Amino acid sequence: AGGSGKWSRFAVFARPAPALGVFAVALALLAYGTLESRRLEIGDIGTGAPELRANSRYNIDNAAITHQYNIGVDVLSVIVETTGFDDACLHYPVMSAIEKFEMNMRGVAGVQSVTSVASQGKVFIAAFNEGNPRWAALPRSSEGLTQGSNAFDPDNGMNTANCKAIQVLIYTQNHEGTTIAHIVDEIKRFAAENPTPNVAFRLAGGNVGVMAATNEAVGDAEVAMLLSIFGAIALLCAVTFRSWRAVLCIIVPLTLVSILCNAVMARLGIGLKVATLPVITLGVGVGVDYGIYLYERLQHDIRHGATLPDAFADAMRQRGTAALFTAVTMFIGVGTWAFSALKFQVDMGVLLAFMFLVNLFGAVFLLPALAAWLGVERAERRVSRAPQPAS
């Protein structure tokens, strides 16, 4: 009886006046979540492998390599495609375009170093002339470029036969989402502003190239995924409860918690990527259960003559313990991931624990407040009084 009495106290949130207080808190959280979520970045955040902690052996070694050498473990490969040449590496316009691109990328923030057949060819040409640095330049004739032909050997891995495809390797200081996006934008800008006949700069290879493509796909998929999950939930709720009020009472708390989840990700320095993108969807899919359980009982009691506060009190008495047990069990279960040695598992555990627990609060506090101001009681009474079709 004592437990039932405690659950009955939540009926106060189904009254119009106390519901205003719930709305005030919800609006404050919405404002904070919206502002904070703007800081959410797409892609990895930090240096090293994001799946590991900063003090892991791999990330420590990665930092040492990056700081002590001009190359690192993060590389973006730009493919220069040539057409209409017998041997493109022996044509000055092609090599000049690659050299200009290489020099331009060296000045881009986030780039550690750049190498290509153009820079390697200049080294070989200087070596053929007693190492004189004045000869470290690209001759304008095919005969002059032949001196650097050792740099154009396909066995070096920098180009294919006859230089139909040529690699430009861009080593980056890190693989953060903002760094990758900036470098890719600079590559596209250079290619657009410096067209060369029969020469095309193509993106992209290397681990950073894969990350760049992945980040673009994640950015495009985020809105579509959220619209899909919320649209599916709204449709199923409308079919189940046959009420737009029910849809709002269930969807609005989920939306608020989803925005807050983005804010938590931004605050904790967790980037939006393939690994974290499904977290919000999973949290919404699990969290919607709380609202459905409570609203189904609330609707049933109102149609049988109960007032909204009494109906919600009864819903909490019958479903509150089960909902709380489910939320706490999942919260503790995934919360233990916070002690994992894998940073990826820590991030997933924190986000899932947040979604599983806070979605319960949204259903318990915001759902009855919305029901009080959306006229759920009047609407459900009209439905219960409507003549039923003869069976």
Predicted pLDDT of residue 373: 92
Looking at residue 388, the DSSP 8-state letter turns out to be P
Q: For the beta carbon of residue 345, count every other beta carbon within 10 angstroms.
A: 17
**Rounded distance, CA 265 to CA 47, Å?**
17
Read off the pLDDT band of 2 (50, 70, 90): very low
Arithmetic mean of pLDDT, 33-55? 84
CATH class of 2-43+220-385: mainly alpha
pLDDT at residue 391 tops 60: no
Tell me which amino acid residue 124 is: F
Domain with CATH 1.20.1640.10 in the chain: 2-43+220-385
What confidence score (pLDDT) does residue 233 get? 92
Give the pLDDT band (50/70/90) at residue 344: confident
Structure tokens at 332: 């503790």
- Separation in Å, CA 336 to CA 74, 135, 178, 270, 341: 32, 63, 31, 18, 11
Residue 138 above 90 pLDDT? Answer: no
Q: Are strands 111-116 and 75-82 parallel, antiparallel or unpaired?
A: unpaired
Q: 10 Å Cβ neighbour count for 31?
A: 11
For the chain, how long is the longest CA-to-CA vector? 104
Distance separating alpha carbons of residues 233 and 182, to the nearest angstrom: 37
